[in-house]
Amino acid sequence: MTFAPELAELGPDRWTLPFWEAAREGRLVAPVCPRCDRGRMPPTSHCPHCGASDAPDWEPTSGQARVFSYTVAHQAFHPALGEHVPYVLAIVALVDRPDVRLATNLLEVDTEAVQIDDLVEVVFDRVDDDTVIPRFRPANGGSTQPGG
Amino acid sequence: MHQLQDAAAVVGVGATDYYRRGRSVPATAMDLAVSAVRAALEDAGLGPRDVDGFALYAGGLNTGFLAQQLGVPDVRFNATLPGGGGGSAGCLGLAAGAIVSGQASVVVSVMALQQATYRLGQAGGKGSPYAFTPSPETDFSVPFGWVSPGHKYALAARRHMHLYGTTREHFAEVAISTRANAVRRPGALMQQPLTLDDYFDGRMIADPLCLYDFCLESDGAVALVTTSTERARDLARPPVLIHAAAFGGDGVNSPQLPWANSPDEYFASGYSEAVARTLYERSEIGPGDIDVAQLYDHFGPMVLMQLEDYGFCGRGESGDFVADGNIRWPDGGLPVNTHGGHLSEAYVMGMTHLREAVEQLRGTATNQVDGAHTALVSGGPASIPMSAVILRKDEP
């Protein structure tokens, strides 16, 4: 199920590393400013909203999200994508923290049937022992409709 | 009144032929740049010894080598905006600032593309600007196959459709009207009219963006020469005044990754509202007084969003605006990309749009807008900096 493993080499820094460490443990976490409680995505040293210089907190999430936008990519702009087109590149908003959105892929979907606001759930794509990439698939046994 | 207002003017324009990607070989990008600058200086009635400044964008090119080949003896100003095509229109603001502050008197701006050994739109591969070194930022995009500029704008276009009911027919209107302008223009790369059926038959690249929503890939160079308005009035061509200029953008929302986390109204926009606000603050001319607009069209649907950003219609209303024929030449209320744009004339990262605006205001454009007195040119949508200028005829 691994999607384009050649593109999955990561280069985190101290601010983003907790996200990837949690993914390795099968947890999807959201970066939140400890001072103003707003999502801080990307996780950085300073909050652009309140100016806090505290590291973000990492809140556990249910792993569910809703599709915010998506594209069905038909052209492989990188050689590593050649055998994966068409694929769905999406931005999803976490149900528990709608102010944190992630770019991701939607797996196990009918590419013609995806809709904005579809409910999806995280799946952890284990590329190798060190690298786990959170992707998403339809939640609730395949229903892709909001509220389902 | 803003101190740069009408203080500097474009006095020369020059360009090479435009070529399909890689077809300008054996010319190098520097060869093309030198040719375009020489043509622009000749157009202005100036020579290389008059030049003392370079105001560039997208990281520029090797101005030392350029100055040497041109024979510029004394370079006193040499600056470039970062980013990509977002800064294109802004290079005129940079030039005007240099001139008004006395740092330079005759400033050259130029862009040259020669894509024989790389493709701007191709991720990975030799020489690609999208070859990836893993980084904290790209970790949140590249592993998901988010590797082309087209992916970003597909995501924005989809959200715009969702929020405002914009349709692919609206995207098609941008592609078709732009193509019609190119067909009338000698030298434009695309010379066959585009129909609605053609558009819908175009292969899908990043749904909802199809082949005709993506710009061309081309080679070529375009150069502009700028000097003070006072000096411009003694030169060969009627001056085209730099009425207002702005480069920058929304600092919180603009950097690439947070686009995914920006507010909805920003995400599904041309990201240019902040630039537009600054531009109009510095201008006596509002959107209702613009006669022709050259809007950066790396992706056709982003023309719609910019129509909203620059106040030509309300937020979410650009689909209806274009469906009503407003951007068509010659009868629309605001003809857009009258040269054929990046979609159908050539892609030289924004400079063709500046060239066309100057030709419109000189009254020499191929698709001339009758009595055009004012033109707006944009650079971007992109990350910071984006940019825009309002140019106008010299009518003291």
User: What CATH number has the domain bearing residue B236?
Assistant: 3.40.47.10
Judge whether A5 and A115 are in contact, CB under 8 Å: no
Residue B307 domain flag: yes
Residue with tokens 């009911």: B165
Residue in chain A nearest B140 by alpha carbon: A103
Amino acid at B184: R
- Is B144 within 8 Å of A104 when comparing Cβ atoms? yes
With the C-alpha atoms ordered B122, B126, B130, B132, is the resulting torsion angle positive or negative? Answer: positive
* B123 contacts on A by Cβ (under 8 Å): 77-78
CA angle B163, B246, B2 (to 5 degrees): 125
Q: What are phi and psi of B271, to 5 degrees?
A: 65, 10
Residue A74 domain flag: yes
Question: How many structural domains is chain A composed of?
Answer: 1
Residue A3 domain flag: no
Residue B51 domain flag: yes
Residue in chain B nearest A136 by alpha carbon: B144
- The mean pLDDT of A64-83, rounded to a whole number, is 95
pLDDT tens digits, one per residue of B13-55: 999 999 999 999 999 999 999 999 999 999 999 999 999 999 9
Cα(A72)–Cα(B155) distance, rounded to whole angstroms?
Answer: 10
Residue A47 domain flag: yes
State the complex-level ipTM.
0.95
Number of H helices, E strands in chain B: 12, 12
Q: What are phi and psi of B304, to 5 degrees?
A: -60, -50
Closest by CA to B160, choosing from B256, B255, B299, B301, is B301
**Predicted confidence (pLDDT) at residue A41 exceeds the cutoff of 80:** yes
B200 touches chain A (CB under 8 A): no
* A99 contacts on B by Cβ (under 8 Å): 261
Residue A58 domain flag: yes
* A3 contacts on B by Cβ (under 8 Å): 143-145
pLDDT tens digits, one per residue of B217-232: 999 999 999 999 999 9
Question: How many structural domains is chain B composed of?
Answer: 1
Residue A95 domain flag: yes
- Is A105 within 8 Å of B144 when comparing Cβ atoms? yes
Determine the pLDDT at residue B133: 83
Residue A133 domain flag: yes
The model's pTM is: 0.96
Question: Who's near B263: CB < 8 A, 6+ residues apart?
Answer: B253
- Is A71 within 8 Å of B206 when comparing Cβ atoms? yes
Residue A29 domain flag: yes
Residue B183 domain flag: no
**Predicted confidence (pLDDT) at residue B124 exceeds the cutoff of 90:** no
Q: Is the model more confident about B291 or about B123?
A: B291
Residue A145 domain flag: no
Report H helices in chain A. Answer: 17-24
Q: What residue numbers bound the domain in which B94 lies? A: 8-118+214-393
- Is A42 within 8 Å of B136 when comparing Cβ atoms? yes
**Predicted confidence (pLDDT) at residue A14 exceeds the cutoff of 50:** yes
